[in-house]
Amino acid sequence: MYRLLIVDDEEIITDSLYETFARHMPDRLDVCKAYSAQEALNWMRRSRIDIVLTDIRMPGMSGLELTEQIQASWPNCRVIFLTGHSDFDYAYRAFQMTNVRYLLKTEGYDKVMAIIEDVMEEIRQSHSMLELLEQSREVNSRLAVIQQEEYMRKLLQDCTSVVSSPLETQDELAKRGIGLQADLPVYLILGRFNTSPGTGSELTRVQESVRIIGSTLMHERTMYASVTDHYGDTVWLVQPKQEEEKEGDKLVRFLEGTLELVQEACMVSLGVSIAFTLSGRSSDWSEISRQYERLRLLQWMKIGDGVSMVLTDHHDELSTGVLKESGRISSRIEIMSGYLETGRIQPFYDIFEELASELLQQDITMERAMETYYNLALLLHSTINRWGLQQQIPDQRNLLHLGEHACMKDAVQFLYHAADELVRFKRSNEQERANVVIHSLCSYVKENLEKDLSLVRLAELHHFNPSYLSRFFKQEMGINLSEFIDDYRIRRAKELLQNTDLMIREVALQVGYEAAHSFTRLFKKLTGMTPQEYRESVLVR
């Protein structure tokens, strides 16, 4: 979904354009509005904007000055100047800017809508980077890449074993061609596929492509290094290029918006859905391993519905309690645990069945059978206790007593039974959590009709990414969030028109419309009558 911001100091123009585009393509375009350049900049600081439709001449700050500030923060943002002035100097200056178009207001709504469609297609095509990916793979030196990846995986697993003084660390980075500075902290990004993109060489190709897409879109404002970790997930270490972004959250906002573009590009170019977790604070090099583990845990805790999302870790302090060593356990058991926690059921069963079948092989040694069984049993037993499912599996103690079973086949069957109960609970629990989120959101809308109910504001209040919230609501409710809000506003307006003596303007304010003419247009569009006609029709009855 792309985000359009309409900027004009003439409210009637802004409101009309907003209503037109908000209903023209609700599945593809999230529309915001601002009545001044300063208000537009506030939007840009809150969320990524893909297209800005703005007047050139406005009080305080012109559209040209606004565009310069927009392009400094969001270089890929497209700007369309919509103005009533045919002044040659303004047009000439507009044409000198990149990603900018120029339209006269006299050209009409159809022309404006056609231009927006063209720009959206232009953005979509710019995300189709398959040719760039192939070229990049051809020029990569595989040996250098392998050395880089080895070093970075060691950083993620145990940074204390490879990080020493900043000077020595910088030498190690330079030897491997890693363009990061050892005397500056780093931000971490973790990307995980929502569904398996393939196996073998196909999986490797997709993993490399995701890294190239992300690195390409982050290139202008960051220094970075990327790697595919032991779990098949993509990790970036990122530092800002610009001095003013070394403190504060400007870089985090840029990364959040850019990762949404990475998701769009991955879907367009590769046909894969990917979720991202981003550290909201920079980490010292000695903290990299702990921050990496924290991001992995946070991703496990998200609602496992397979929808792309960008989750930012805003905690100031790293939690150490959840990162304690849990004892010796094989890498396959660790991966299984991650799959189960995140609701990736089929990959969980794939590894589970692989290990369970080993237990039934005739040539397996007793030592290997004991190790494999108790690793599986410990994983299931600890998950049952952590999730509070002792009542659903009352004989769970048998998991840790292999001798309680008549034979190995019976023991394996009991493992399957426990695994099935956990999977059944996971699926029902995720749906329940989704229902709680939707109920909270709907209740807030119904109780706060007069407040800001923009997608960005609702996402901030409910701690979601705006694009994810829009898709999540549509997936759960079957309608767009904007349609739900409009429908409930009209319901409330009908109640007020029927049961109170409030003027039309007062009714409009109570259901969230500052301009009565905007309220009247929406009311007539959805009911076929103006508010006054509706009130009179009710009185006649």
Residue for token digits 């399957």? 416
390 against 2, higher pLDDT: 2
Q: Residue 336, SS3?
A: helix
CB 78 within 8 Å of CB 52: yes
Q: Residue 416, SS3?
A: helix
Angle between the N-to-C axes of helices 37-46 and 63-73, in degrees from 0 to 180, rounded to the nearest 10: 10
**Residue 110 phi, psi dihedral angles, 5° rounding:** -60, -40
Hey, how many other C-beta atoms are within 10 angstroms of the C-beta on 316?
7
CA 23 – CA 33 distance, rounded (Å): 14
pLDDT recorded at residue 317:
42
Q: What is the distance, to the nearest Å, from the Cα of residue 368 to the centroid of all Cα atoms in its chain?
A: 42
Q: Reply yes or no on whether the pLDDT at 402 is more than 80.
A: no
What band does 164 get if pLDDT is binned at 50, 70 and 90?
confident
CA 304 – CA 197 distance, rounded (Å): 17
pLDDT recorded at residue 304:
42
Q: Residue 213: which of 295, 146, 128 has the closest Cα?
A: 128
Q: What is the distance, to the nearest Å, from the Cα of residue 91 to the centroid of all Cα atoms in its chain?
A: 37
The contacts of residue 451 (CB under 8 Å, 6+ apart) are: 512
Tokens of 277: 């977790």
CA 302 – CA 477 distance, rounded (Å): 19
CB 319 within 8 Å of CB 294: yes
Tokens of 92: 């000439």
Task: Dump pLDDT digits (tens) for 107-135.
Answer: 888 888 899 999 998 888 877 665 666 66
Hey, how many other C-beta atoms are within 10 angstroms of the C-beta on 535?
20
What's the whole-number mean pLDDT along residues 243-269?
A: 84
Give the Å distances, CA to CA, from 246 to 284, 289, 326. Answer: 13, 21, 36
CA 482 – CA 135 distance, rounded (Å): 42
pLDDT recorded at residue 101:
84
Considering the chain, what is the average pLDDT of its residues? 83
Q: Reply yes or no on whether the pLDDT at 246 is more than 90.
A: no
Query: What's at 509, amino acid-wise?
Result: L
Task: Dump pLDDT digits (tens) for 416-453.
Answer: 999 988 888 877 776 666 677 788 889 999 999 998 89
Angle between the N-to-C axes of helices 345-359 and 408-447, in degrees from 0 to 180, rounded to the nearest 10: 170
pLDDT recorded at residue 358:
84
DSSP 8-state secondary structure symbol assigned to residue 328: -
pLDDT recorded at residue 362:
67
Q: Provide the strand spans (E) within 245-333.
A: 274-279, 310-313
What's the whole-number mean pLDDT along residues 532-539?
A: 88
What band does 387 get if pLDDT is binned at 50, 70 and 90?
confident
100 against 524, higher pLDDT: 524
What band does 96 get if pLDDT is binned at 50, 70 and 90?
low
What band does 139 get if pLDDT is binned at 50, 70 and 90?
low
Percent with pLDDT over 70 in the chain? 85
Tokens of 73: 């923060």
Q: Residue 452: which of 522, 513, 517, 496 has the closest Cα?
A: 513
pLDDT recorded at residue 46:
86
Instruction: Check residue 315 and give left, alpha or beta (phi > 0: left; psi -120 to 50: alpha).
Output: beta
Q: Reply yes or no on whether the pLDDT at 87 is more than 80.
A: no
CB contact burial 249-268 (16+ within 10 A = b; e otherwise): ebbbbbbbbbbbbbbbbbeb
Q: Reply yes or no on whether the pLDDT at 324 is more than 50.
A: no
Least confident of 87-91, 288-292, 428-432: 87-91
What band does 198 get if pLDDT is binned at 50, 70 and 90?
confident
Task: Dump pLDDT digits (tens) for 331-375.
Answer: 788 888 888 887 788 889 998 998 888 888 866 666 677 788 888
Could you tell me what percentage of the chain is helix, strand and coil, using 3-state DSSP and rounding each to the nearest 5?
A: 60, 10, 30
What band does 236 get if pLDDT is binned at 50, 70 and 90?
very high
Q: Residue 368, SS3?
A: helix
Residue for token digits 């207001």? 105
Q: Which helix (H) or strand (E) holds 126?
A: helix 108-126
pLDDT recorded at residue 107:
80
pLDDT recorded at residue 315:
62
pLDDT recorded at residue 386:
82
Most confident region among 51-65, 285-299, 430-444 by mean pLDDT: 51-65
Q: What is the distance, to the nearest Å, from the Cα of residue 517 to the centroid of all Cα atoms in its chain?
A: 36
Q: Reply yes or no on whether the pLDDT at 301 is more than 70.
A: no
What band does 303 get if pLDDT is binned at 50, 70 and 90?
very low
Task: Dump pLDDT digits (tens) for 467-486.
Answer: 878 888 888 888 999 999 99
CA 220 – CA 242 distance, rounded (Å): 10
CA angle 184, 275, 461 (to 5 degrees): 85
Q: Reply yes or no on whether the pLDDT at 38 is more than 90.
A: yes
Residue for token digits 């060691």? 154
What's the whole-number mean pLDDT along residues 509-520?
A: 91
CA 504 – CA 507 distance, rounded (Å): 5
Residue for token digits 């297209």? 51
What band does 322 get if pLDDT is binned at 50, 70 and 90?
very low
pLDDT recorded at residue 133:
64
Q: Residue 192, SS3?
A: strand
**Residue 328 phi, psi dihedral angles, 5° rounding:** -70, 130
pLDDT recorded at residue 308:
67
What band does 320 get if pLDDT is binned at 50, 70 and 90?
very low
CA angle 264, 460, 472 (to 5 degrees): 50
Q: Reply yes or no on whether the pLDDT at 397 is more than 60.
A: yes
Q: Which domains does the chain have, with CATH numbers?
A: 2-126 (3.40.50.2300), 130-319 (3.30.70.1230), 331-429 (no CATH), 470-540 (1.10.10.60)
CA angle 101, 104, 105 (to 5 degrees): 125
CA 98 – CA 5 distance, rounded (Å): 18
What band does 321 get if pLDDT is binned at 50, 70 and 90?
very low
CB contact burial 230-241 (16+ within 10 A = b; e otherwise): eebbbbbbbbbe
Give me the helices (H) in 247-330, please. Answer: 250-270, 288-300
